[in-house]
Structure 1
Amino acid sequence: MGYRFTLDDVTFLRSRHGIKALETASTLDLTPASMLADIGELRSRYAPHDAALIETVICRRRGRTKLSAADDMLFTDDALQQATASAVGRNRAAEIARRHPGAVIHDVTCSIGTEVMELAAQEGISGVIGSDVDTVRLSMARHNCALGNGSSTLLRADALTPTSSADVVVADPARRSGSARVFRLEALTPPLLDVLTTYAGRPLAVKCAPGLDYRMLRDRFGFSGQVQITSLDGSVREACLWTERDDEPRQRATVLRSRPDGSVRAYDVTDDGDDHVPVGEVGEWIIDPDGAVVRAGLVRDYARRHGLWQLDPQIAYLTGDAVPEGERGFRVIEATGVAEKELRKRLAAQDCGTLEILVRGLDIDPDRLRKRLKPKGSRALTLVLTRMGRKGVGFICEPGARF
């Protein structure tokens, strides 16, 4: 659990003196080895705000891979962990603008304002409101939103008390209680079902943890909207519940990939078609679909889209004669059994040294197996272990490459 900011801390950090103090703090290492000396220096000059300075600089450094404006933003540790990554928030803002051109959007759990920043910068959205019950985070949001493009209105309000007639409502219930992460729907703040009930009948997008049990949400609580699972650069980031448009696909995976030039490539996979695909022997390539596709239950839809087939109807590995653009594929060198003696012999014959092991459908720990196999050659290889029917199978492959 990080430092607990006060409103006085935030007022200081936003002041001219505080901005200068942050510049000073940012020049310090703030590592375990230097921390005692760094604390002493900051305390002698900026007490009682020394801890707030340290926490802010550490959060800014951690936030650089997630948020484009991290170096100038204010955070709490929990707020940073839950904050929507810039690329993901930008993608959602663009979708809202497409669905509701000229709309006013209200983020009813705006926290430190990361979602509001992306909404306000999006062309086609005419107004953005952000609200939160936490006065400290709201003060941070005022600072953060001033850094971005566009304007927004921020106010203190309870998410479960509607305070605007905005065209679209966005919510992101808190998924932490103190230092612990919470997973039960009713343990979120505010509870997810209360949010859905409060804004029933209005266009609503609710950001949730990627591990959300959306099947239970549908089966037990009657949720009938779309579940969108989003990944960024191979990491599954969130599930988003969209309550509108009965004609939309019920399941959607959104895959975002950063390009070297700073732009982001995006594609969607949905359940809007026949998901029947063949099951057969391994082709030239094995493809491990993006985690968003797997989590959304759209592996067969993805395979149909790209002319791939399954090794087993219950396993997420796909195979084919080509790798879809932007995806990672493993060229098969040879098939093998899964017994350690056979694996050791086959890998040695391939001069295997560095070994990546991927496993689906078998009770095998890749790290432990790698230690027992002890590859000593000079060649980097990938070992894919899975099952076809009831039989465990392995495939020795060239290292994964993205195409």
Structure 2
Amino acid sequence: MDLDAFRWLLTEPGQQLLARATEVAGDDPLRAQSALRRDASAEQVAAALTQATLRLRAVPKFGDLAPRLYFTPDGLEQATRVPVAEHRAARLEAFRTTTLVDLGCGIGGDLMAAARAGITCAGVDLDPVRVEVARANLEALGLPGAVMVADATTVDPAPFDVAFADPARRTGRGRSFDVDDWTPPWPFVERLLRRDSCVKVAPGIPHGLVPAGVEAEWVSDHGEVKEAALWSGSLATTARRATVIGDGGLATITDEDDPGPGAVGVVPVGRYLYEPDGAVIRAGLVTAVASGVGGGLVDEHIAYVTSEQSFATPFARGYEVLTELPYREKQLRAALRERGIGRLTIKKRGVDVVPEQLRKRLDLRGDDEATIVLTRVAGQGTALLVRPF
């Protein structure tokens, strides 16, 4: 995005063009450009249409705030969802954080959440466009805060209570899971974690990479694992934590809730089956969920929990086990057709099955609906007919 065109977009004529671009953003691109070119340059029209389009794409992350904010394509992709950013800001507020420096603030997603929590914030980023966008976003929400162009690795975080960083994890080849490709790189993160800091990282970060004394928190939003965050210094309160955000609010479980090795084993499939949330699985806390529902594992390598008891837990989705079905495809088809099943939800874990392909091969045509779970139970492929509760 051109910096001058974006700055012009913040002027009164630019805001008028942006309002018009919002009205035609869903139209044919050529028609939309033609409608806007009468009173603006090609660069200005492109900037307005880009913002209008990005605001539509931003709704899943930013909700009602999206129409008031500004974005860049890569900045939107890396930005934290509002509920997750608000959770992080609430944790910082609980630790009585008064000042925060965001080292690589991007478009300012976490900066805005912290400022809304009453924390005095400063942000830096290498990209002048992202800095301008972050500054505009703070102003759009009437929030205080300073943003400037700077190399995060050269900024001294000592004057601030907490340093926050969200290293970019994309290269010219696309998304990278190699910490050496991050910007700033992993050695910078390790240095930052020697003080009170929070670093947002990919949810696939290996447990062995987390430095000693640092808390690793995996966060999911409505069933989707969104990130992991590393908390260091006085902000670390445990080793591993899973936090789930849903319609009912927020819940968290830690390694202190885990009964420990050997306390939860493999047991026969009981009346109920539980599918742990992805954040729980990433945090290695499946056995904590099993202990919480008074059950065990269906297989030592599979993240399904079973119990004879019915529990409502935010950390897993529950199913009543109705019966076991044949695992072989031909016999499974016959069993489902016999029950008049036409619409089938297929859950699978630990088995080599592609649900869409299997559903097509089963070719079911009944009037009823059902859910099956394909997994391993004590090492054996198993099909279970279940009912969500």
TM bucket (normalised to shorter chain) is: over 0.9
| Aligned partners of 1:78 and 1:176 also within 8 Å | no
Q: CA deviation at 1:102?
A: 4.5
Does residue 277 of the first structure (1) align with residue 273 of the second (2)? no
Q: After superposition, what is the alpha-carbon deviation per residue over 1:162-184, rounded to whole angstroms, capped at 9, x for unaligned?
A: 24410100000112234721221
The 5 A counterparts of 1:29-68 are: 29-31=25-27, 34-47=28-41, 48-68=43-63
Q: Which amino acid aligns with 2:250?
A: A
2:73 to 49, 57, 77: 77
Separation (CA, whole Å) in 2 of partners of 1:130 and 1:394:
52
Residues 129, 154 of structure 1: 8 Å contact kept: yes
Code of the residue aligned with 1:62 in structure 2: it is R
Change (3 A) 1:149 1:307: farther
In 2, Cα distance between the equivalents of 1:246 and 1:232? Answer: 22
3-state SS of the aligned residue for 1:106? strand
Is 1:113 aligned to 2:108, yes or no? yes
What letter matches 1:286 in structure 2? L
**1:324 partner letter:** A
SS of match in other structure, 2:19: helix
Q: 1:360, 1:157 → 2: CA distance?
A: 46
Letter in structure 2 aligned against 1:65: P
Does the 8 A contact of 2:25 with 2:53 survive in 1? no
In 2, the alpha carbon distance for the partners of 1:194 and 1:36 equals 45
Of the structure 1 ranges 56-65 and 149-158, higher mean CA displacement relative to structure 2 is found in 149-158
Q: Show the counterpart of 1:388.
A: 377
Equivalent residue for 2:136, pick from 131, 135, 143: 143
Q: Which amino acid aligns with 1:270?
A: T
Cα distance in 1 for residues equivalent to 2:239 and 2:128: 37
Which of the residues 17, 20, 31 maps onto 1:21? Answer: 17
Q: CA 1:247/1:142 → structure 2, altered by over 3 Å: closer, same or farther?
A: closer
Supply the distance in 1 between the matched residues of 2:69 and 2:234 (Cα, whole angstroms): 36
1:187 to 168, 181, 187: 181
Q: 1:323 to 1:149 in 2, by over 3 A?
A: farther
Equivalent of residue 207 in structure 1, options 169, 187, 200:
200
Measured in 2, the distance between the counterparts of 1:237 and 1:193 equals 23
Structure 1 residue 334, shift from structure 2 partner: 0.7
Partners of 1:174 and 1:155 lie apart in 2 by 18
Partner-residue secondary structure (3-state), 1:256: strand
Q: Which residue of 2 aligns with 1:262?
A: none
Which sits farther off after the overlay, 75-84 or 158-167?
158-167
1:160 is aligned to 2:156: no
Distance change (3 Å), C-alpha of 1:181 and 1:30: same
Tell me the residue number matched to 1:366.
355
Instruction: Find the counterpart in structure 2 of residue 346 from structure 1.
Output: 335
Report the secondary structure of 1:354's partner residue.
strand
Can you list the C-alpha shifts for 1:264-301, whole angstroms capped at 9, x where unaligned?
x1111111142322422222221111111111111111
Whether the 8 Å CA contact 1:282–1:319 is kept in 2: the answer is yes
State the TM-score, normalized to the length of structure 1: 0.90
Structure 2 equivalent of residue 235 of structure 1: 224
Distance 1:118 1:396 in 2: 44
Q: Is the 1:252–1:296 Cα contact (8 Å) retained in structure 2?
A: yes
Residue aligning to 2:7: 11
Letter in 2 for 1:67: F
Question: Does 2:314 align with 1:322?
Answer: no
Query: Residues 76 and 268 (structure 1 numbering): CA distance in 2 closer, same or farther, change over 3 Å?
Result: same
Deviation of 1:142 after TM superposition, in Å, equals: 0.8
- 1:134 alignment counterpart: 127
Structure 2 residues without counterparts, runs of 5 or longer: none
Residues 274 and 318 of structure 2 are in contact (CA less than 8 Å); yes or no, is this contact kept in structure 1?
yes
For residue 314 of structure 1, give the secondary structure of its aligned residue in structure 2: coil
2:105 touches 2:111 (CA, 8 Å); kept in 1?
yes
Q: The residue matched to 2:310 in structure 1 has which SS?
A: coil
Q: Spell out structure 1 runs of 4+ moving beyond 3 A.
A: none
Greater fraction helix: 2
- Name the CA shift for 1:365/1:37 in 2 (closer, same or farther; >3 Å): same
Paired letter, 2:56: R
CA contact (8 A) 1:121 1:149 kept: no
Percent sequence identity over aligned pairs: 34
C-alpha change, 1:342 and 1:200, in structure 2 (3 Å) is closer
Could you say if the C-alpha distance between residues 323 and 46 of structure 1 is closer, same or farther in structure 2, counting changes exceeding 3 Å? farther
Determine if contact 1:110/1:132 at 8 Å carries over to the other structure: yes
Q: How far apart are residue 239 of structure 1 and its match?
A: 0.8
Q: Is this contact kept in 2: 1:120–1:149, CA < 8 A? A: no
Count of aligned pairs: 381
